[in-house]
A and B are shown apart, each in its own frame.
Chain A
Amino acid sequence: MAKFFIEYLDSLSIPILPEWIVHALVYLIVGLVQCGVLLAIVMVSVAVFTWMERKIAGRIQDRLGPTRTGGRFGWLQPLADGIKLWTKEDLVPKNADGLLFRVAPYIAFCASFTVFLALPFSDGWVAQNLNVAAFFVLAVAGLEIFGTILGGYGSGSKWSLFGAMREAAQVVSYEVPLGLCVLIPVMIAGSMNLVTIGNIQAGLFTNWLIFHDPCTFITFFVYGTCAVASVNRAPFDLAEAESELVAGFMTEYSGFRWSIFFMAEYGSMLAVSALATTLFLGGWNGPVPVTELLGWTEAAGAHPVLVQLGNLLGAANFLCKTYIGVTVMIWARWSLPRLRIDQVMTTCLKYCLPIAAAMLVGATLWLYAFPGGMILKQRLPDVSSQVPSDSCGTKTGDG
């Protein structure tokens, strides 16, 4: 987007300011806009998730959930919650390490939010089209743990420390199988660029990487397990296990700071779910390639507005799948008891890790045996030529 504006301004060649200042300003403004848009998406999603969580939990538990705030379905409940939390007294325990205690929630939130910088919402709709996006997402998402550890350590409470230690052990362990699971789509696509990975799944839903071969199918579920564990959702929510550790690392947090942690958690849920969508569930490509059938693609020479409209459809598609992923997480939380810490580690090291490793080998052999890769591939005519062969996509971000 920035490049587009810069080229536009350059073409106008109005000599008001030196060129470099104009460029810097354009980059700044575009960056801020992108940031705002992403923040809006994350915040709205978090609000929707809290509402969904309440409603789904209510329905599972044979009650209604919120019904009054904001009309019949209580859809303003997240806002009411937010106002309540933000107006609460700002408490810092006497024994807490003030600096760490205060800074921890922001570290967690920043880590969870930065992930969206590299996540494509549609073909080319990405803030920064990194050619190592998959790696970047994993690396940054892993940073969230620092917020948790610092929060737990800085609280000066034994329960918080326990929560932080559990989280550290758990997340660090689950990063390994998670990384292996991510490696498989990356290997199939031959690129770490998430836009590329999304684009090779274009076409019918049988092109989605989950249906690429039996190994990826299994990998998807391993990834799901590891993702739930790495964002600390039930049944792996040991770091804040309220029946054991009061509230784990969040024991001493309240009000605004607590809500920041809360948003970080829900943001991570969105992030891992979005990553799963991109890697396995076809990203922004719907089950049926509607835009391609309508000819709303650049390749078909459609009007740019139609192309962007198609992208909008893709983004809606993408968010839809992501939300379904989150719904499954919520569903699991309200139906399953919590595992014990040793059982969580067993699940990771004895089951997830070997399975993921075996699947990596399996997928490699499958690629070797069937060089075309996708035996189920049913591309529509003249679409396959649109798949970018360039593995390090250079498409400009279009936030």
Chain B
Amino acid sequence: MSLERLDPEMVEFDVRTDEMLINMGPQHPSTHGVLRLLLRTDGEVVTDVTPHIGYLHRCAEKIGENVTARQWIPYTDRMDYLAAMNMNLGWSLVVEKLLGREVTERTRHVRVLVSELNRIANHLVAVAAYGLDLGNFTPYAWTFREREKILDLFEEVCGARLTCSYIVPGGITGDFPAGWLDRCETFLQEFEPIIDQFHSLLTNSAIFIRRTGGIGVLSPEMAIDYGCTGPVLRGSGVKWDVRRDGDPWYTRMYEDYEFEVIAEIDGKYPQDQEYPPVPEAVVLGDSWHRYYVRMLEVVQSMRLIRQAMEFYRQTDPQWSDPIKVTEKLPKGQVYLETEAPKGQMGFMVIGDGTAKPWRARARSSSFCNLSVVAELCRGGLIADVPAVVGSLDLVLGEIDR
């Protein structure tokens, strides 16, 4: 077959004269990378959406079969490059479960701290990009300013800003540098009042509510049917968080921690903090709720970080050693899902007695979240497509792997 062969979708003969097939992407400002959405439009109305993915496909799973478990950590960074810590954590936990390794208390609290910090960073990007998708540039600058501070903290911890490779199977690569916790505390203190500014820019903005309220309504049944997880699922009013409801191997990492799972139950969000009220024009499960859940989760993550810092100070400085690069994996297969910022990120490892996994599998949360996009966009306007895609918070590195 040759490249001259036209895309089968493009030569469809059932396109009516008043319809138009438009490629949104792979080069398009609001598709968050290299997503290609083939829109069938009737004027401004989108009658069908076909996502085409794979432009960033690197077959990371095949690479995973050819490197050892420890060596695959940098590849997990590059899946969801906006939440590298959480990706490292997912793979580390699954390998540890296969090896039967447990980490010390202090390592556990460090892991909670950095992964929650990264969750804030990720949600900030999600909010920023969502603002951009709706034509508001200013949240982007504001949230990125705050995110830079988090990345600075990461840089001090592990030398890298984006691709951290900090959490590795067996432990972490190093302790916090001196004074780091104080700087982290300073960041939290500075960041706390700024959240209100984001709320005033977007959450309560009449135009923002008009653009997102009632757009892309995802019912809880449909969300579960499509395997949507994370803020997308919770935005539909399902109180489900793997940090609380998941595999014990993962949930015990959050033992002794107090946090709320953010979801609207009976028309109410948890009222443990001061949150702006839910406007009347929005419907449960729409884009606005998905955005709102993220904003509220940021506050919960800050709570978790504060607790983690407290626990860190209380525990003995005992560290668990990372596994050797050539550590042999026992026979067996383990699948474990962790609550990455974008949803449930599942990793599976099949050991065959050698250092290299027989099979390394990454179940991407964005992959499932994206699969629902056609249902959400159908019947809307072209302007609603970015409003829906942005609210799903996709990262193509993770979808294409």
Contact = CB atoms under 8 A, between A and B. Distances in A.
Nearest to A60: B138
A341 B44 contact: yes
Given A162-B382, A336-B205, A340-B381, A61 B210 contact: no
Contact of B141 (A62, A162, A166, A343): A62
B145 A241 contact: no
Given A235-B135, A241-B135, A244-B386, A336 B22 contact: no
B22 A337 contact: no
Contact of A237 (B29, B135, B138, B382): B135
B396 interface: no
Given A158-B22, A337-B205, A339-B211, A243 B142 contact: no
Interface in B197-225: 201-202, 205, 207-208, 210-211
Interface stretch (B58-66, B112-120, B126-134, B239-247): B126-134
A235 B145 contact: no
B134 A337 contact: yes
A341 B29 contact: no
Interface in A204-247: 234-235, 237-238, 241-246
A241 to B, nearest CB: 6
B28 interface: yes
Nearest to A237: B135
A159 B22 contact: yes
A242 B138 contact: no
Contact of B136 (A62, A244, A245, A337): A337
B138 A61 contact: yes
Say what secondary structure dominates the interface of chain B. helix
Nearest to B382: A244
A-side interface mostly: helix
B215 to A, nearest CB: 9
B382 A338 contact: no
A342 interface: yes
B211 A243 contact: no
A262 interface: no
A245 B386 CA distance: 10
A215 B145 CA distance: 44
A155 to B, nearest CB: 14
B131 to A, nearest CB: 7
B385 interface: yes
A238 B20 CA distance: 19
B289 to A, nearest CB: 17
B30 interface: yes
Contacts of B384: 340
Interface residues on B, range: 20 to 34
Contact of A61 (B29, B132, B137): B137
Given A337-B131, A339-B207, A340-B384, A242 B29 contact: yes
Contacts of B142: 61-62
A392 B382 CA distance: 49
A62 B145 contact: yes
Contacts of A94: none
A334 B138 contact: yes
Contact of B135 (A60, A158, A338): A338
B383 interface: yes
A340 B211 contact: yes
A63 interface: yes
Interface in B378-397: 381-386
Contacts of B132: 243
A57 B137 contact: yes
A399 to B, nearest CB: 39
Chain B CB count within 10 A is highest, among A61, A159, A334, A341, for A61
A378 interface: no
A335 interface: yes
A241 B208 CA distance: 15
Contacts of A60: 138
Most buried by A among B28, B44, B142, B210: B44
Contact of B386 (A61, A243, A334, A341): A243
Interface string A45-73: 00000000000010011110000000000
B141 A63 contact: yes
A93 to B, nearest CB: 15
Contact of B207 (A235, A238, A241, A341): A235
Nearest to A162: B382
A244 B349 CA distance: 40
Most buried by A among B20, B44, B383, B385: B383
Nearest to A243: B30
B47 to A, nearest CB: 15
24 contacts: A57-B137, A61-B138, A162-B44, A234-B135, A237-B135, A241-B383, A242-B29, A243-B29, A243-B30, A243-B132, A243-B135, A244-B382, A244-B386, A334-B137, A335-B201, A336-B205, A337-B131, A337-B135, A337-B205, A338-B211, A340-B383, A341-B381, A342-B381, A343-B210
Those 9 A-B pairs whose CB atoms lie nearest each other, nearest first: A338-B135, A61-B141, A243-B30, A337-B134, A337-B136, A340-B383, A243-B133, A337-B207, A243-B386
Given A60-B138, A61-B137, A336-B205, 14 more contacts: A61-B140, A61-B142, A62-B141, A242-B30, A243-B386, A244-B30, A244-B386, A246-B29, A334-B137, A335-B201, A339-B210, A341-B381, A342-B381, A343-B211
